[in-house]
Amino acid sequence: EADIYQTPRYLVIGTGKKITLECSQTMGHDKMYWYQQDPGMELHLIHYSYGVNSTEKGDLSSESTVSRIRTEHFPLTLESARPSHTSQYLCASSDRSGPTDTQYFGPGTRLTVL
Amino acid sequence: DQQVKQNSPSLSVQEGRISILNCDYTNSMFDYFLWYKKYPAEGPTFLISISSIKDKNEDGRFTVFLNKSAKHLSLHIVPSQPGDSAVYFCAARGSNYKLTFGKGTLLTVNP
């Protein structure tokens, strides 16, 4: 069982607000990821990190930003939320030293921007 | 250009029978394949994986088969249980250990 947490689970917010989605893991995993998923669609990688002070953009362009100051923490920030940002955001982590590098997911944050 | 395809959006199976979920991919450089299960309003849960050098991996009721020449993999669940009802995602690992996901198949197991 993976120990990865996301808060809030649900967020409804108005256009133009700044938001931060939290993600924490207690497994000491060095790799962390953010995915975006719309209903009936695949998960799209928007950001990833291979360790502290390392962040990269994923395959899907996103206006969000991320930071990785501590191994266990990988927050995602939207400076000015828009209705097009409405989606489910999923955080994951994996252990680079493992042979399979399986990604384990948090419960997700369902974001609705009005 | 979708590199991982799950062509069946949904599948309905009777309890106790076998469920077969299919996945096709186009990138021959994928070296690892994973299946995840997702309930509504929750994150995906890892189920089972297979390396590209193998053709079968089994874990309890779950078996994944890989046909590299056809670029096709399948997940078999037997016997199916009502608690297996969820969306199942196929994922493939490419360069830099990044995963590419399919759109998922909604499995419904009827009692």
User: Counting one residue from A and one from B, how many pairs have CB atoms under 8 Å apart?
Assistant: 61
What was the pLDDT predicted at A98? 59
Q: Is A28 helix (H, G, I), strand (E, B) or coil?
A: coil
Instruction: Collect all residues of chain A within an 8 Å Cβ-Cβ radius of residue B94.
Output: none
What is the average pLDDT score of chain B?
A: 94
CA distances from A12 to A35, A75, A108 (A): 19, 18, 14
Summarised one tens digit per residue, pLDDT across range B58-95 is: 999 999 999 999 999 999 999 999 999 999 999 999 87
Instruction: Collect all residues of chain B within an 8 Å Cβ-Cβ radius of residue A96.
Output: 97
What was the pLDDT predicted at B91? 95
What was the pLDDT predicted at B40? 84
Helices (H) and strands (E) in chain A, counts: 0, 11
Q: Is A97 helix (H, G, I), strand (E, B) or coil?
A: coil
A98 alpha carbon, distance to own chain's centre: 21
What percent of chain B has a predicted confidence (pLDDT) above 90? 90
Summarised one tens digit per residue, pLDDT across range A32-85 is: 999 999 988 899 999 999 999 999 998 888 889 999 999 999 999 999 999 999
Summarised one tens digit per residue, pLDDT across range B4-52 is: 999 999 999 999 999 999 999 999 999 999 999 999 888 999 999 999 9
Contact A100 B89 (CB under 8 A): no
Instruction: Collect all residues of chain B within an 8 Å Cβ-Cβ radius of residue A90.
Output: 43-44
The C-alpha of A1 sits at a distance from chain B's nearest C-alpha, in angstroms, of 9
Of A96, A102, A108, the CB nearest to B43: A108
CA distances from A73 to A29, A32, A68, B38 (A): 10, 9, 6, 23
Summarised one tens digit per residue, pLDDT across range B9-20 is: 999 999 999 999
CA dist., res. A32 & res. A46, Å (int): 11
